[in-house]
């Protein structure tokens, strides 16, 4: 069974007047969709980051052209490097006058049986996906606390933090860590009016995923979805915008599954 993708949802001003920082937003994945939705939902200014300078510049130009928002800026950052994380947050503070919302989208996935996996591959996935989210969250929490005006952090986890899948031990462990990080950091951040939540998508087909998984596996995963298809990146971004908005004002430390998998 395959059901038609729903029509694109227009913006409703959910984050009107807010400033947003999105990591790993170049390309055609969830990060770019989140930046697009942020502009469409009324963000006054946006900073996006990516590890690839050329792709980042192209993404900034595309976002400006497609959304009509002029105040969109790019800053290269490798979330596995602490100095670059600090430089990104400082850039966003200076450029935006303070980032009201951080969307932690950066992550890295590969496919490998655990018995065939070397330490280097395990550590790389963990360092980008879990440690990178921790570094960004830690730096932004410090900045938001010092600023004293509250804020919101939205992390990108995965249903693999709950569910098992072959060849994904490293990625699943990292995403389960993101879930736990979200819960624990949220309790600490609540003391200075910062909310931290996470989305956990099941499957979103984008170029990076197609590179790391076989077509056969992707078709198998899609077949397990109730709608018989993968999510569009913007469908996940919509839930991120809800969590970034005042509509979720009582939610913190939560992991929201963005999935249509069979029970």
CB count within 10 Å of CB 203 equals: 20
Estimate the share of the chain in helix, then strand, then coil, as percent rounded to the nearest 5: 50, 15, 35
> Cα(42)–Cα(181) distance, rounded to whole angstroms?
29
> Cα(149)–Cα(138) distance, rounded to whole angstroms?
17
Say if residues 102 and 136 touch (Cβ distance below 8 Å).
yes
- Helix residue ranges per DSSP H, the chain: 30-40, 53-67, 82-96, 119-126, 132-147, 169-189, 207-212, 215-223, 233-244
Beta strand 101-104 with 72-76 is unpaired
Catalytic residues, by residue number, are 171
CB count within 10 Å of CB 93 equals: 19
């Amino acid at each position: 069974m395959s059901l038609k993708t729903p029509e694109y949802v227009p913006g409703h001003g959910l984050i009107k007047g807010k400033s947003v920082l999105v990591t790993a937003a170049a390309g055609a994945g969830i990060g770019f969709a989140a930046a697009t939705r942020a502009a469409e939902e009324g963000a006054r200014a946006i900073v996006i980051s990516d590890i690839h300078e050329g792709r980042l510049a192209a993404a900034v130009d595309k976002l400006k052209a497609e959304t009509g928002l002029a105040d969109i800026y790019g800053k290269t950052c490798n979330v596995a490097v602490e100095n670059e994380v600090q430089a990104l947050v400082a850039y966003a503070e200076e450029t935006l006058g303070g980032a009201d919302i951080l969307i932690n989208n950066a992550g890295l996935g590969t496919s490998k049986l655990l018995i065939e996996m070397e330490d280097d591959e395990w550590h790389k996935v963990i360092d980008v996906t879990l440690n990178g989210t921790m570094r960004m969250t830690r730096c932004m929490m410090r900045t938001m606390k010092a600023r004293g005006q509250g804020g919101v952090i939205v992390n990108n986890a995965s249903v693999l933090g709950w569910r098992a899948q072959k060849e994904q031990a490293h990625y699943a462990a990292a995403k389960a860590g993101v879930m736990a990080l979200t819960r624990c950091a949220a309790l600490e951040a609540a003391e200075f009016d910062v909310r931290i939540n996470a989305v956990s998508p099941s499957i979103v087909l984008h170029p990076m995923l197609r590179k790391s998984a076989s077509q056969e596996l992707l078709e198998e995963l899609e077949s397990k979805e109730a709608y018989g298809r993968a999510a569009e990146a913007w469908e996940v971004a919509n839930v991120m915008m809800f969590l970034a908005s005042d509509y979720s004002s009582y939610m913190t430390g939560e992991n929201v599954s963005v999935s249509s998998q069979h029970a």
